[in-house]
Amino acid sequence: MSPTDAAASGGSGRERRAYFRVRAYLPLRHRPLQPGERETLRAEMSTPRPEPEVEEGLSTWLCQLEEKLDLVLSHLDPAAQRPLCDRDRRVVEISGSGLSFPSKERIRVGESLLVELRLPGGRPRPVRALAEVVERREADDPWGESRVAVAFREIHEDDREAIVRFSNDLQRLELRARATSQESA
């Protein structure tokens, strides 16, 4: 065990995660990478991108407007990629280092995917990451969905920070609700 691994596990040999993981219901899309696409996406994710200073209410409104325009454009051009929307929602477990999600598609361990998801809070663009499938658990019944776990291999640091902030906020809400229910019991 390397010193880094020992520090991450608290020296006990027990696995400890670098980021907290939470369960959420989020719009999510994924697809396998096309040949030659990895380098283009890697460069895009490493380029600094300024976030415009917009108040949250206006940002939410602009995101909704953009989603509607993208939806109209996708109807005009069926080959165009449609925006992430509510019908793409799935129960995911997410952290700053990766996520797991249900899938009916045949996805292999080791496969590289482009993952896109939308966090609540009026972010102007979806979170995008290059991810590697690290685990696939088969469904109990033949018609069910498998559970696919991916690790983020390339992600813009702003996107990772947004995921961590979202996870912390959700965890804080869950802890408050638990404390309130224990006080009332």
Domain assignment of residue 118, given as a range? 17-184
pLDDT digits over 100-122, tens only?
A: 999 988 899 999 999 999 998 76
Residue 4 lies in a domain: no
- Quote the DSSP letter at residue 52: P
Residue 30 lies in a domain: yes
pLDDT digits over 134-170, tens only?
A: 999 987 767 778 899 999 999 999 899 999 999 999 9
Residues 159 and 115: their CA atoms lie apart, in Å, by 12
**What is the number of domains present in the chain?**
1
Residue 138 lies in a domain: yes
Pick from 131, 133, 34: nearest CA to 81: 34
Collapsed DSSP state (helix, strand, coil) of residue 133: strand
- Quote the DSSP letter at residue 34: P
Q: Which phi and psi angles does 58 have, rounded to 5°?
A: -65, -40
pTM greater than the 0.85 cutoff = no
Residue 101 lies in a domain: yes
Residue 10 lies in a domain: no
Residue 6 lies in a domain: no
Q: Using an 8 Å Cβ cutoff, are 143 and 182 in contact?
A: no
